Structure 1
Amino acid sequence: MNDESIEQELPNDDILTEILEAELPEAHNTAETPETSAISAEEELEQLKDAHLRLMAEYENYRKRTLKEKVDLIQNGGEKVIVGLLPVIDDFQRALDTIENANDLAAIQEGVNLIYQKFLAFLQQNGVKAIDAIGQAFNADLYEAVATLPAPAEEQRDTVIDSVQTGYTLNDKVIRHAKVVVAN
């Protein structure tokens, strides 16, 4: 074979380009020029800016919504407690109406005691408990000593012997310390 026959057997560059373009059309289309690269970068930047603005708007809406919910909770948070107290208030009103015409002191005392028990039950349902004090070892986390008296016996030393005012806890957190007298 001579050089001319080899050149005739090999296709020319135009034919090779057409064959490659036909077989790999996506490779030809995705080749980026500096201009298309800059345009796609600008488009991506615009998309990122848009996504950022949307995210900021969503965050602002979330912040406003939670602030409104917080205000609503503060304004209406005690509604459950107030609604629960209304039957106790109604019972007190009936007791006051009955006292005006009643002559039986024992019946009045029993009625007031029933209202008191109903009120205590309501408080317990809402997590409020009285702090048991008398006979307990003095604990500064629960009690406030308002007076001390000499201990009648050595084993009663640093023990609560009287309660001046009942203390309360709300869900195991002290909301009012019991005011007590301690044996010293």
Structure 2
Amino acid sequence: MDKNKNHDNVTEPQHVADNEISVNDIDNEFVEQQEAEAAKDIADEEMNKVDALQQELDQTRAQLEKEKKEYLFLMAEFDNFRKRTLKEKSELIKNGGENALKGLLPVVDDFERSLEAIKSSDDAASIREGVELIYNKFVKYLEQNGVKPIDSAPGVDFDTELHEAVTMFPAPDESQKGKVIDTVQKGYTLHDKVLRHAKVVVGQ
């Protein structure tokens, strides 16, 4: 009876130890499984980040390529606009000069007719009248094209923007100081811009 009891006492600790090892193995496997799943989740998350960054990079490249094409298109459009503008400006200048010269041809015709008339006439009055007609016609043509004489009549205030003093002359009285006394050469403006300053004598 006592012998059997001793036998049971010997075998029972071994059974308990086996159970403990089995539980430890299960715990280790569970921990390893959890760690593997966590590592997989981390790897998946990293891959998702990489995929998102790659997608963003692709979108950025596509946007950059689109903007590059738009930039090149705008540059080509601007270059065409610049060339077209230069051509139009050149033609405008050319045609403007052509029209101005064409308008002078009738004046040249009048001068030629006047010269022919002088050869066969000794009437100074008629010659003078013909020259005055040509002169008035020419002045009118200039005015039609924006050319106007600068006022430099005696008594006008001297203006450095319009007049050029070629000499200073003692004024007969105080009222003529700083005034135009005489005009040496008439001046003209073109659309309110000075084309040639009037050369004048100024009182001092």
Match of 1:72 in 2: 91
Once the 2 structures are TM-superposed, how far is the Cα of residue 171 of structure 1 from its aligned partner? Answer: 1.2
Structure 2 residue 200 is the aligned partner of structure 1 residue 180: yes
Match of 2:143 in 1: 124
1:87 corresponds to which letter in structure 2?
P
Once the 2 structures are TM-superposed, how far is the Cα of residue 106 of structure 1 from its aligned partner? Answer: 0.6
Once the 2 structures are TM-superposed, how far is the Cα of residue 36 of structure 1 from its aligned partner? Answer: 8.0
Once the 2 structures are TM-superposed, how far is the Cα of residue 38 of structure 1 from its aligned partner? Answer: 7.2
Match of 1:87 in 2: 106
Instruction: Choose from 130, 134, 157 the match for 2:177.
Output: 157
Larger mean Cα displacement after TM superposition, 107-116 or 69-78: 69-78
Distance in 2 between residues matched to 1:107 and 1:42, nearest whole Å: 87
CA, structure 1 residues 55+111, in 2 after alignment: closer, same or farther (shift >3 Å)?
same
Distance in 1 between residues matched to 2:189 and 2:93, nearest whole Å: 21
- Aligned sequence identity (%): 55
Once the 2 structures are TM-superposed, how far is the Cα of residue 41 of structure 1 from its aligned partner? Answer: 6.3
Match of 1:105 in 2: 124
Distance in 2 between residues matched to 1:163 and 1:80, nearest whole Å: 31
Q: What TM-score results when the alignment is normalised by the length of structure 2?
A: 0.65
Once the 2 structures are TM-superposed, how far is the Cα of residue 51 of structure 1 from its aligned partner? Answer: 2.9
Unaligned runs of 5+ in 2: 1-51
Once the 2 structures are TM-superposed, how far is the Cα of residue 74 of structure 1 from its aligned partner? Answer: 3.4
Unaligned runs of 5+ in 1: 1-32
Structure 2 residue 165 is the aligned partner of structure 1 residue 137: no
Once the 2 structures are TM-superposed, how far is the Cα of residue 45 of structure 1 from its aligned partner? Answer: 4.9
Q: Secondary structure at the match of 2:175?
A: helix
Distance in 1 between residues matched to 2:176 and 2:88, nearest whole Å: 52
Bigger share in helix: 2
Instruction: Choose from 20, 45, 53 the match for 2:72.
Output: 53
Once superposed, what is the RMSD of the aligned Cα atoms? 2.4
Distance in 2 between residues matched to 1:160 and 1:53, nearest whole Å: 61
Match of 2:27 in 1: none
Q: What TM-score results when the alignment is normalised by the length of structure 1?
A: 0.72
Instruction: Choose from 173, 178, 191 the match for 1:171.
Output: 191
1:44-93 CA deviation, whole Å, 9 max, x = no partner?
Answer: 55544433332222122112111222332333331221121111111111
Q: Secondary structure at the match of 1:78?
A: helix
Distance in 2 between residues matched to 1:101 and 1:147, nearest whole Å: 43
